[in-house]
Amino acid sequence: MEVYHTIAEIRNFVREQKITGNSVGFVPTMGYLHQGHLTLMEEARKENDIVVVSIFVNPTQFGPDEDYGEYPRDLSRDVELATGVGVDVVFSPQTEEIYLPNSATTVEVEGLTNHLCGATREGHFTGVCTIVSKLFNIINPDRAYFGQKDAQQVLVIKRMVKDLNFDIDIVTVPIVREKDGLAISSRNKYLGQDEREAALVLYQALQIAQNLIGSGERDRDIIKQQLVERIDREPLAEIDYVDIVNQNNLEEAEEIKGEILIALAVYIGKTRLIDNLMLEVDK
């Protein structure tokens, strides 16, 4: 297992692999790895000759009031965890290696980014698309792996890859949950004990929606109201958004039909958590 800090090093490594015909799977992360990330790496391990993981807390995807400064970082622990699942290379650059002083270029996806997290996190997806484009150009992978937990991110990245003709397969991996159902996230570590319990409300609300739809309910407003009511009963929870949208365009689903995404963002104390459910509703 190698750890590279410079673009030149990782490029040389990948170039040599490509010459020998090896395929490269890439898992971009912001580090502080958890089982969600490790599942992505395990998937990449199965499907590629070489697995590259990037660890880079990307400043441009954080808003001015967000947690860029406090975002948890622990490279040596991350390297150990990545080694454990058979990763070949960790690329862990400094911020200055990635963003030059005069850098002025951004990649933007319109439409899809106006909804859900994009509506409340201004500039977030431009930051995501820009860093992912850069990492794609640096790593030059055959496949890249993203977690379904960031549902909007997955849809935005897939759109970007199609639109800019990146020759890369985007592979999506299902949400990994704790035993009690909480979606695993680096931000869960911010939660105090009471908050950790309260955080379950996201999963519980999604289950209510799933059960309603499973039992035939198709009225979007009724489903949404029940979701909201469940979350509102939790005193430590404050809703950022609760939305039921079409997966294709992320616009409000008029009908509960076809490819539906139920997406939540909820503050538990000061910690903003997201969770979602993707459904294919026949009728």
> Minimal distance in Å, beta carbon 164 to a copy of itself?
5
Tokens of 252: 């409000």
Q: Which of 37, 45, 121, 134 binds a copy of itself (CB under 8 A)?
A: 134
Tokens of 164: 């800019």
Does residue 20 bind a copy of itself (CB under 8 A)? no
Instruction: Find the part of the chain contacting a copy of itself (CB under 8 A) among 25-33, 103-111, 183-191, 192-200.
Output: 103-111
> Minimal distance in Å, beta carbon 147 to a copy of itself?
21
Phi-psi region of 31 (alpha: psi -120 to 50; beta: other; left: phi over 0): left
Does residue 56 bind a copy of itself (CB under 8 A)? no
> What secondary structure letter does DSSP report for 183?
B
Active site residue 37: yes
Q: Annotation-wise, does 147 bind a ligand?
A: yes
Instruction: Name residue 165's amino acid.
Output: N
Does residue 96 bind a copy of itself (CB under 8 A)? no
- Calpha distance 190→180 (Å, rounded): 18
Which residues, in sequence order, are CB contacts of 4 under 8 Å at separation 6+? 10, 13, 89, 90, 91, 92
Q: Name 90's bridge partners.
A: 3, 53
Q: How many residues bind a copy of itself (CB under 8 A)?
A: 29
Instruction: Find the part of the chain contacting a copy of itself (CB under 8 A) among 126-134, 144-152, 259-267, 273-281.
Output: 126-134
Does residue 55 bind a copy of itself (CB under 8 A)? no
Instruction: Find the part of the chain contacting a copy of itself (CB under 8 A) among 84-92, 155-163, 206-214, 237-245.
Output: 155-163
Tokens of 87: 């990763």
154 alpha carbon, distance to own chain's centre: 7
Q: Are 107 and 129 in contact (CB under 8 A)?
A: yes
- Calpha distance 105→103 (Å, rounded): 6
Q: Which of 106, 120, 211, 225 binds a copy of itself (CB under 8 A)?
A: 106
Q: Annotation-wise, does 148 bind a ligand?
A: yes
Q: Are 254 and 220 in contact (CB under 8 A)?
A: yes
Q: Name 252's bridge partners.
A: 245
Q: Annotation-wise, does 123 bind a ligand?
A: no
Binding site feature residues? 30-37, 61, 147-150, 153, 176, 184-187
Binding site feature residues for ATP? 30-37, 147-150, 176, 184-187
Residues designated as active site: 37
Q: Footprint of a copy of itself on this chain (CB under 8 A)?
A: 7, 11, 100, 102-112, 129-130, 133-134, 137-138, 140, 159-160, 162-167
